[in-house]
Structure 1
Amino acid sequence: MINLEKILPRVQKPARYVGGEWNMVRKDWDKTPVKMAFAFPDVYEVGMSHLGLQILYHVVNSRPDTLMERAFAPWVDMEAEMRKAGLPLFTLESRRPVKDFDLIGFTLQYEMSFSNVLNMLDLAGIPLRAADRGNGGPLICAGGPCAFNPEPLADFIDFFVLGEGEEVLHDLLDLYRDCGGRTAGRAEFLRRAVRIPGIYVPSFYRVTYREDGGIGSIHPLTADVPELVTKRVVRGFDRAPFPTRPLVPSLGVVHDRAMLEVQRGCTRGCRFCQAGVIYRPVREKSPATLRAQAADLVRQTGFDEISLVSLSTADYSRVDELVHTLLDQFAGLGVSVSLPSLRVDAFSVALAREIQRVRRSSLTFAPEAGTQRLRDVINKGVTEEDLMAAVSTAFGAGWPAIKLYFMIGLPTETDDDLAGIARLARRVLAEGRCQKVPRGRLKVTVSASSFVPKPHTAFQWEPQDRLAELRGKQAYLRDALKEKGLVFHWHEPEVSFLEAALSRGDRRLGMVLEEAQRLGCRFDGWSECFSFDRWREAFRRTGLEPARYAYRRYNYDDILPWDHIGAGVSKAYLIKEHRRAMSGRPTPDCRAGKCPGCGLCPTLEIKPEIDGREINAPLPDQVQ
């Protein structure tokens, strides 16, 4: 066991590294056959806010034959102390070196955490490249949203898990146990793992490149390796395992509240949104299940706030009823209910008043674009009138501050669309004044992120705006939003540029990641750590150009780096959606009754689940 007593007094927030949280699980190491470490490539406060960690921790530790412990990326001060003392990366539960575990699973939530993945492997004393690891060490796996283009990390990860992990994780743990653990050897495990649906083993695929730098082919090396690896999806979501005794963080974290997952998936079809594709189809839990889980969460954690978690919680079919019953259920206990950002067309006076019954939290609306033309392009499906009705209701119900979320650099964006952001923000501010919100308290915060084209979306073929364009648009909005009561937030465009390069990258970017880690890149999503100069140097040393990935406009017949990874939605449908976007035609929500023909339900042989029950999805010949 690693001794930290001499180190911890010299670092910020030592509680990040000590473990011992309420509901922590610690099993007998010698009596548990299969050991897995969950590695989160960011600091404790971010990782402990991730519901996926809590779910998989519960799934693995519920088995008598397996254990899961946690490791987070140490902050730069702690890393320096660990390297100085020769201490390897360790887990919080037992303080054992991560390299002692059988499997190490990384979650890939954000491309700018890729450098942390490599740095954590290096700190653990594990060879970065999978080809350099012998049979005695742990197997390295990864999953999460960024695994839907795994190629930049293909040289470093033994296998990827595509889709939802609650079921496939059991398949992997059973296989590892049945293979005899480490005695079977890495090659034998991977040879058998590749047959599990949803498992991608990059070393079993060969990628060729054309003279112009594009991809020539991606094909499996043997006949028993699938040409297309399709994601796993949990069926019977109302009965899916859920942690009602989650870990309670030992210090303040990003989302310091109980998380209640009300549904998974989204039917809205925003064309920039990768999550809306990779988490299809929509599956809801029943109110009865949610009430029981909420009661357990409050009893087992002591949290005084329950956050109703999903991609679009206001679309949950019985959201008003659920909020009302939960607040009644916890009346007198001081427990509040909160929702993430609301769709502006789903807001209601009743819901607004319900969620402020105990304590008022901030409200965020996401118009995404400043004009109706551009909202139709991205298939946002809301109007300016929807937004104004929602903010008027919010201001009238007592909220003094509203947050508005936009994107800049969206495909087909014009100067008029950009001006529309400022005009809309000013109109919201004026509505606050009309609703008699005190001037000293009235605040409208405008947050504008830069569009990043993501794999498996209708905009995957589109280039990102060039850096100079993004900087110019940010400068315009800074000037246009200078008024008392308006606040403007923006993201560093250099970070978004690299995010686009990594998001659309191929296997060759592994060289860049390795060089970036060697140059000291880590915590690249944190402004105090991010160094654009280091990244540019890493690209220069490897002879690759990030602009080639971020700014390339793909053709429909190009082979994309992620074409062998299946999210369930057909490429033909994405092409159709891209064409509809370019002509400004929206696609209706499939909850309205007409299937848009994305192909997911017949491909995965699954049906949407509303109110905890399956609903009939159209058969392939019914798709229009």
Structure 2
Amino acid sequence: MNRTLEHILPRVQKPARYTGGEYNAVVKDRHRVDTRYALCFPDTYEIGMSNLGMRILYGVMNQMEGVWCERVFAPWGDMEEEMRREGVSLYGLESGDPIADFDLIGFSLGYEMAYSNVLNMLDLAGLPLRSEERRGLSPIVVAGGTCAFNPEPLSPFVDVFALGEGEDVSVELIQLYRRAREECWSKEEFLSAAAQVPGLYVPSLYEVRYQPDGTVAQIEPLEGAPLPVTKRIVQDFNKSYFPVKTIVPSTEIVHDRVMLEVFRGCIRGCRFCQAGYAYRPVRPRDPKLLLEQGIAACKDSGYQEMTLSSLSTSDYRPLEQLCDGLLDWCEPNRVSLSLPSLRADNFSLGLMERVQHVRKSGLTFAPEAGTQRLRDAINKNVTEEEILRSCRTAFSGGWSSVKLYFMLGLPTETDEDVLGIADLAEKIYQAWKETTPNPRRGVNITVSTAFFVPKPHTAFQWEGQISMEEYHRRVKLLREHMRGRSIKYNWHDPETSFLEAVFSRGDRRLAGVLEEAWRQGAKFDAWSEYFDFQRWMQAFRTCGVDPNFYAGRVRDREEVLPWSVTATGVSQAFLWRERERAYQAVITPDCRVQCTGCGADKLYPGGVCDAEA
């Protein structure tokens, strides 16, 4: 650590965020590596270190000979203030070296409200914000993650977007960069070559034209760039990298435990879920391999908690077999095993009893909608009776706390659907009264509602978001009908969800708004301590951009969508058909019942996805 940092750190909260030196952090001799990669997470250390994808990419790149990947997180306001005052540039956590001197700088994009932090981190690094102003071969700014499936709002700032799963394509990008450096390519030559790598989108090689009404008229690829750019997936999940020797943080983080990823993808097809479509096809990991990896990771790290991770863990076929094997080791070693929220249609009391036999923590279900008609419209594939049966089973087994998650503003939602949420909560309360063995303990039923955001590459990508005023009306309606001291109602503030809708569905013209808001102080917009909605509204006015054009407008089927430059493998015809079925409230069976013909299996040559097996 340099002397300036030693001087700064006593003046900031949580200095361990900025020191590095954790157990299993990778430190290499900077004189023996030829390529340095700054792996940036545009949020705090506690959030970024809880991200399994970051840990995977960190391990993958540091396995490469001659490559040193270092972590970089967004400094909190007190640390940023000290860094700017003392002239300290944003640095890699392992070496303390300025990331402006690195070869590649990669950002993980999991949430649109982190975009302002991407700009802030580039500025803290002393780099020009816009790609066209960074003229040399280094550093190359890369971005990936779920938000990269609509890369357009960030396109002027990023040189290369990596679409889909990054384990393989990151290695190929680094190898291409090494070749470019050895052969003295210009940045333009490198970017032209990168565009030919499957899964890499180079925005400077695409020209976007607009109609007089502001919609996209045409996206024209230049210099032979592909259109669309299709995501990359890991073909053999059993052979993909898992961070057994994972970094053990020096300070508390959000998810401080071993995370076992049991499979990629999802069989369900919920029509609102971007991740469910974007990470198809389903590819499981062998339970024997998971058992070995989980035990080895706990032994190496000393963690006393392990959790099973996926989009829908209860759909993992050998789940009980895996849990039994893990518990045989976990119990005598005093390691707790936890499962994420389960689906109400396959809730297993026996499994939960085994996993939580020491301490019955609360259960979490996500019905998403209050009536069966609306659950069918969004293809949730769960019935009210299944929800109530699961709650009765849990209550009879001694559970006394349940959390229920819903969305307000879903397509076709009516006031009857909104009131159905209160009705369902009351029915769950009655189920508790009828089945609990210990009524004196009481019950805690927590209902939470979020503001629905229509996302790219889903069946609802053409929909508009309801207005914030209408959202507030529906919240008020629900709140007035939520009765009973045992039922607590929480609702999400709509302002961040409105901006999330704008940027998730936006085009390149939003880059100016993003830069203007950042120049006026926007950062850490996912945090209430920093978020200022009026600052964003002023930025839209300054730039002459109407945010409702992006958030609230329903698209026609023929409209060229800004994110049509990217492809998840799921066909647009399939998504449109799912939208039509939503308006008919007709469900589509999950992938294991019947292959829906979405097209994602074509990304999986030589076999079929697990959902079809």
- Classify the TM-score, shorter chain: over 0.9
Q: Which residue of 1 aligns with 2:193?
A: 192
Q: Which residue of 1 aligns with 2:235?
A: 235
**Distance in 1, Cα, partners of 2:538 & 2:440:** 49
Q: Which residue of 1 aligns with 2:321?
A: 321
| Deviation (angstroms), 1:527 | 1.4
| Deviation (angstroms), 1:293 | 0.3
Q: Does residue 115 of structure 2 align to residue 114 of structure 1?
A: yes
**Distance in 2, Cα, partners of 1:400 & 1:53:** 36
Q: Secondary structure at the match of 1:298?
A: helix
Deviates more, 1:193-202 or 1:352-361: 352-361
**Distance in 2, Cα, partners of 1:277 & 1:341:** 19
**Distance in 1, Cα, partners of 2:606 & 2:525:** 38
| Aligned partners of 2:42 and 2:121 also within 8 Å | yes
Q: Which residue of 2 aligns with 1:263?
A: 263
Q: Which residue of 1 aligns with 2:210?
A: 209
Q: Secondary structure at the match of 1:345?
A: helix
Change (3 A) 1:413 1:181: farther
Deviations 1:24-49 (A, max 9, x none): 11111111111101000000110000
| Aligned partners of 2:235 and 2:604 also within 8 Å | no
| Aligned partners of 2:595 and 2:612 also within 8 Å | no
| Deviation (angstroms), 1:588 | 0.4
Q: Which residue of 2 aligns with 1:134?
A: 135
Q: TM-score, normalised by structure 1?
A: 0.96
| Deviation (angstroms), 1:604 | 5.2
Q: Which residue of 2 aligns with 1:304?
A: 304
Q: Secondary structure at the match of 1:42?
A: coil
Q: Which residue of 2 aligns with 1:587?
A: 588
Deviates more, 1:366-375 or 1:240-249: 240-249
Q: Secondary structure at the match of 1:537?
A: helix
| Deviation (angstroms), 1:351 | 1.1
Q: Does residue 333 of structure 2 align to residue 333 of structure 1?
A: yes
Q: Which residue of 1 aligns with 2:26?
A: 25
Aligned-residue Cα RMSD (Å) equals 1.5
Q: Which residue of 1 aligns with 2:577?
A: 576
Q: Which residue of 2 aligns with 1:501?
A: 502
Q: Which amino acid aligns with 2:584?
A: S
Deviations 1:365-401 (A, max 9, x none): 0000000000000000000111111111222222221
Q: Which amino acid aligns with 1:366?
A: A
Change (3 A) 1:602 1:81: same
| Aligned partners of 1:459 and 1:578 also within 8 Å | yes
| Aligned partners of 1:405 and 1:447 also within 8 Å | yes
Deviations 1:299-321 (A, max 9, x none): 11111111100000000001111
Change (3 A) 1:311 1:606: farther
**Distance in 2, Cα, partners of 1:419 & 1:30:** 65
| Deviation (angstroms), 1:257 | 1.0
Q: Secondary structure at the match of 1:405?
A: strand
Q: Secondary structure at the match of 1:128?
A: coil
Task: Report the identity percentage.
Answer: 52
Q: Which residue of 2 aligns with 1:78?
A: 79
| Aligned partners of 2:400 and 2:441 also within 8 Å | no
**Distance in 2, Cα, partners of 1:521 & 1:173:** 32
Q: Does residue 531 of structure 2 align to residue 530 of structure 1?
A: yes
Q: Which residue of 2 aligns with 1:277?
A: 277
Q: Secondary structure at the match of 2:190?
A: helix
Q: Does residue 95 of structure 2 align to residue 94 of structure 1?
A: yes
Q: Which residue of 2 aligns with 1:544?
A: 545
Q: Which residue of 1 aligns with 2:252?
A: 252
Deviates more, 1:178-187 or 1:194-203: 178-187
**Distance in 1, Cα, partners of 2:609 & 2:576:** 27
| Deviation (angstroms), 1:483 | 2.6
| Deviation (angstroms), 1:62 | 1.1
Q: Which amino acid aligns with 1:428?
A: I
| Aligned partners of 2:591 and 2:612 also within 8 Å | no
| Deviation (angstroms), 1:606 | 6.2
Q: Which residue of 2 aligns with 1:169?
A: 170
Deviates more, 1:554-563 or 1:396-405: 396-405
Q: Which amino acid aligns with 1:235?
A: Q
Count of paired positions? 611
| Aligned partners of 1:34 and 1:181 also within 8 Å | no
Q: Secondary structure at the match of 1:446?
A: strand
| Aligned partners of 1:336 and 1:359 also within 8 Å | no
**Distance in 2, Cα, partners of 1:140 & 1:607:** 35
Deviations 1:46-70 (A, max 9, x none): 0000000000011011112211100
Q: Which residue of 2 aligns with 1:343?
A: 343
Q: Which amino acid aligns with 1:206?
A: E
Q: Which residue of 2 aligns with 1:620?
A: none
Deviations 1:412-450 (A, max 9, x none): 000010001111112212322331455555211111111
**Distance in 2, Cα, partners of 1:515 & 1:607:** 49
Q: Secondary structure at the match of 1:563?
A: helix
**Distance in 2, Cα, partners of 1:570 & 1:40:** 31
| Deviation (angstroms), 1:329 | 2.1
Change (3 A) 1:238 1:87: same
Deviates more, 1:470-479 or 1:73-82: 470-479
Change (3 A) 1:265 1:437: farther
| Aligned partners of 1:39 and 1:106 also within 8 Å | yes
**Distance in 1, Cα, partners of 2:403 & 2:258:** 23
**Distance in 2, Cα, partners of 1:453 & 1:171:** 33
Q: Which residue of 2 aligns with 1:398?
A: 398
Q: Which residue of 2 aligns with 1:555?
A: 556
Q: Which residue of 1 aligns with 2:179?
A: 178
**Distance in 2, Cα, partners of 1:181 & 1:540:** 47
Q: Does residue 156 of structure 2 align to residue 155 of structure 1?
A: yes
| Aligned partners of 1:284 and 1:609 also within 8 Å | no
| Aligned partners of 1:71 and 1:91 also within 8 Å | yes
**Distance in 2, Cα, partners of 1:212 & 1:118:** 29
Q: Secondary structure at the match of 1:590?
A: coil
Change (3 A) 1:62 1:482: same
Q: Which residue of 2 aligns with 1:621?
A: none
Q: Secondary structure at the match of 1:190?
A: helix
Deviates more, 1:484-493 or 1:293-302: 484-493
| Aligned partners of 1:102 and 1:182 also within 8 Å | no
Q: Which amino acid aligns with 1:5?
A: E
| Deviation (angstroms), 1:602 | 2.4
| Aligned partners of 1:334 and 1:358 also within 8 Å | no
Q: Does residue 369 of structure 2 align to residue 366 of structure 1?
A: no
Structure 1: any 5+ residue segments left out of the alignment? 618-624
| Aligned partners of 1:352 and 1:397 also within 8 Å | no
